[in-house]
Structure 1
Amino acid sequence: MANQDTLHRRGLMFILSSPSGAGKTTIARRLLAQDTQIRLSVSVTTRPPRPGEVDARDYHFITEAEFRRMVDAGELLEWAEVFGHLYGTPKAHIKAGLKEGHDFLFDIDWQGTQQLYQRMEVDVVRVFLLPPSIAALEKRLRERGTDAAAVIDARMARAKAEISHWDGYDYVVVNDDLDRCFEAVHGVLKAERLRRARQTGLVDFVRTLMG
């Protein structure tokens, strides 16, 4: 007998954006760990790997020449330059996965979000995380201990610019408590999976109910 979990549906592109330090990476990792139906969209990038990062797991690390070739060939759904490095989303893998009902998590900024929405509107769910205050955001960045003061100042300037794009998202969550924030984000994901237009198996199922 069919149930809500076995009915075929089209996958979705679940975007999480936030200024640096607002908890996006933490929420994303928790979502991937606790929800087996979603997988991370692995971007291509021209930046060098950071300590602990693995090629094809965290990013596909490629040369700028290869990145430009992919752009020219139309192989990227979106791309942007961030702090002097290029980042983009490969198209073919995502489109095939959506058709099969797979969900993809995107950890991208507002520029990438805008491009994805323009190209894949009905498949995109946009969530923006806000810090409880600018002071709290700066405190988180400084407590990381991974960036020089000048880098933190640049990130704070960029953070304010990113926050100005909050109204380009479907959902906005203030991350003043990690557990509450996660539950809100996960709740959005679960609700979006139930959208009637996304559940492509519903028509046949309802026909069987009607005899």
Structure 2
Amino acid sequence: MIMIAGPCTVETIEDTFQIAKELSELNSNIVLRGGCWKPRTDPNSFLGLGEEGVKILISAMRKNNLELCAIEALSYHHLEYLEQYKNEVMIQIGARNMQNFDLLQELNHFDFPILLKRGFGNTVYETCKAREYIKSDKVILCERGIRTFSDSSRFTLDLAAVPVLQLSSGCPVIVDPSHAAGDRNLVLPLAKAALAVGADGLMIEVTSSMSIERKCDGYQAITIKELETLLN
């Protein structure tokens, strides 16, 4: 099973290293995630640490003997910068950039493994076509919830899309229950549902045993102890 976990965004050295340590103790095959450039709705909110965040995340990964980290790239400049870590980084193309066709085609100049997240306003067909812009065979698709009239969660997790995407694209499909839920109390139930329909893995936001007030999506981060109960 593909397991990607970490903070929504890299905030401090101490917190990032602690999360990496706890994840490594849980399972050394976990891919460490952490946002460094954040595409936020509000431009006045925390937009990430940028290149400094990348250095922190890479150092935390190496220090704790994890093999790969997932970082969202928003531009060709970000891809160029991350190329120096090409054997240690999975590039995430986030929901808001799923149909940024120029960016998708720029990926073809690099040799990263790629995580392509479905846009919250996009169909399965559009997701599959976006994937076709990427020539690499190292692509994972991610269902992270779509916007509907329902207000029971932040987004509606489209579980039916998981097997449909698998059949249509031939790619592994993982699920991000954290962004769909928007509430840590819903993350584990949605994660279990995703695995029940055959998802190839999960992407989950976690917080460490160090209690800090997160600058980005802290209300949907579960503890690593809770993640352990899911994996067991």
Q: Which has the higher helix share?
A: 1
Give the TM-score normalised by structure 1: 0.36
Higher Cα radius of gyration: 1
Of structures 1 and 2, the one with the larger relative CO (CA 8 A, separation 6+) is: 1
